[in-house]
Homo-oligomer: A and B are copies of this chain.
Amino acid sequence: MGTVSNALSLLGFFNLQRPEIGLSDLARLSGMNKATVYRHMSELALRGFVEKSHGGTSYRLGPEVLRLASLREAAVPLLSVAREMLARLSAATHETSHMSVVQGMRLNAIAHHYSTRHGTRVTMEDAEVLSFHGTASGLAILAFSEAAFVDAVLARPLPVHTPHTETDPDRIRARLRGIRASGVAQSVGGFEADVHSLAVPIFGPDRCPTGALAVAVPVARMSDALARRAQAELTACAADLTRRIGGFAPETLPLQDTSARSEMTG
């Protein structure tokens, strides 16, 4: 661990609950010497990573991080990161995976990935409009959305896609409670017949769902083992994707095992 890493670790103590921190607090939180913290923060301030707030009584994040975030977004747009995750998902499950994003009151598929393992597979179209009530992705998003949004979605006519499409708002709300508890949404033939989907939400900086990752399997091929594997990989990928687009999961999201965390090479 070098000096630079130590200094940067100070930025890790800023969060939504603690957007501004004083010198002494920061020293206590980090366990570092006050003088060390002071010098580190001075250097960070010099580069615009932090700045002093009201009259110099405490530090907060600086404008430079905004510039860097813009560049990151330009260098690594959501789509390319998503495609990476989809490749991972399909490799782990040997099934079709896809990503969708909320755009207003609509849910749009933006990317998908096939596995070459099986002759039969669920096929997707990018830019396809999904329904919130009929798809695992939509349910995953609704489960963690604001009540007002859920109300608005369920108040509109709920199309029947297949004989298995659930259209009763009350029963849908009941399912949402189950999804909130497990963190994973399921849909068996609710949008397309013979398709069993698992989906997890992706969160934006405001802790609200911005989209969902899903794995779609022909119902005949779904098994407990596959469901478990898909679920594990989905939660790991979703956590990774949420992080990489700068989002935050809400505290209410059930935590899965974190053993599959990607290793940072040094």
- Chain A interface residues (CB < 8 Å from chain B): 2-5, 7-9, 11-12, 14-16, 19-20, 39-40, 42-49, 52-54, 56, 60-76, 78-79, 101, 103-104, 108, 110, 126-127, 205, 243-248, 264-266
A101 touches B63 (CB 8 A): yes
B246 touches A70 (CB 8 A): yes
Chain B: which residue is nearest A39 at the CB level?
Answer: B2
CA distance A19 to B68 in the complex (A): 10
B75 touches A20 (CB 8 A): yes
B127 touches A46 (CB 8 A): no
CA distance A72 to B61 in the complex (A): 5
The residue from B3, B19, B48, B266 contacting A45, defined by CB atoms under 8 A apart? B266
A66 touches B246 (CB 8 A): yes
Known: A61-B71, A71-B14, A265-B52. A66 touches B46 (CB 8 A): no
> Chain B residues near A60 (CB, 8 Å)?
72, 75-76
Taking A64-B103, A70-B248 as given, write out 16 further A-B residue pairs in contact, using a Cβ cutoff of 8 Å, ordered by the A residue number: A2-B43, A3-B4, A4-B4, A4-B40, A4-B43, A8-B49, A19-B74, A48-B103, A56-B265, A63-B103, A66-B72, A66-B245, A67-B103, A67-B110, A68-B68, A70-B205
Chain B: which residue is nearest A101 at the CB level?
Answer: B63
A203 to chain B, nearest CB (A): 11
B205 touches A46 (CB 8 A): no
Known: A19-B71, A70-B110, A75-B20. A65 touches B63 (CB 8 A): no
The residue from B3, B11, B74, B245 contacting A127, defined by CB atoms under 8 A apart? B74
Known: A43-B5, A70-B127. A61 touches B48 (CB 8 A): no
Question: Can you list 21 residue pairs at the A/B interface with Cβ under 8 Å?
Answer: A4-B4, A4-B8, A5-B43, A9-B47, A11-B68, A14-B68, A19-B75, A45-B266, A46-B266, A49-B68, A61-B71, A63-B108, A63-B246, A65-B68, A65-B71, A65-B246, A66-B72, A67-B127, A68-B69, A71-B127, A74-B127
CA distance A246 to B73 in the complex (A): 12
CA distance A205 to B71 in the complex (A): 9
Chain B: which residue is nearest A204 at the CB level?
Answer: B70
CA distance A70 to B129 in the complex (A): 12
> Chain B residues near A64 (CB, 8 Å)?
103
